[in-house]
Amino acid sequence: AQSVTQPDIHITVSEGASLELRCNYSYGATPYLFWYVQSPGQGLQLLLKYFSGDTLVQGIKGFEAEFKRSQSSFNLRKPSVHWSDAAEYFCAVVGVTGGGNKLTFGTGTQLKVEL
In the bound complex, what is the minimum distance in angstroms from residue 82's beta carbon to another protein?
Answer: 22
3-class DSSP assignment, residue 59: coil
Report yes or no: 91 and 24 within 8 Å, Cβ to Cβ.
no
By C-beta, is 35 or 113 nearer to another protein? 35
Alpha helices, DSSP H only, in the chain? none
24 binds another protein, rule: CB under 8 A: no
Part of the chain binding another protein (CB under 8 A), chosen from 16-24, 57-65, 67-75, 102-110: 102-110
By C-beta, is 15 or 73 nearer to another protein? 73
By C-beta, is 11 or 103 nearer to another protein? 103
How many angstroms separate the CA atoms of 69 and 61, rounded?
Answer: 25
Q: Binders of another protein among 26-45, rule CB under 8 A?
A: 32, 36, 41-45
Q: How far is CA 54 from the centre of its chain?
A: 17
Torsion of CA 95, 41, 9, 59, to 10 degrees: 60
70 binds another protein, rule: CB under 8 A: no
Binding residue (CB under 8 A) for another protein from 23, 94, 111, 113: 94
DSSP-derived secondary structure for 10-31: EEEEETTS-EEE--EEE-SS--
83 binds another protein, rule: CB under 8 A: no
Binding residue (CB under 8 A) for another protein from 40, 53, 100, 115: 100
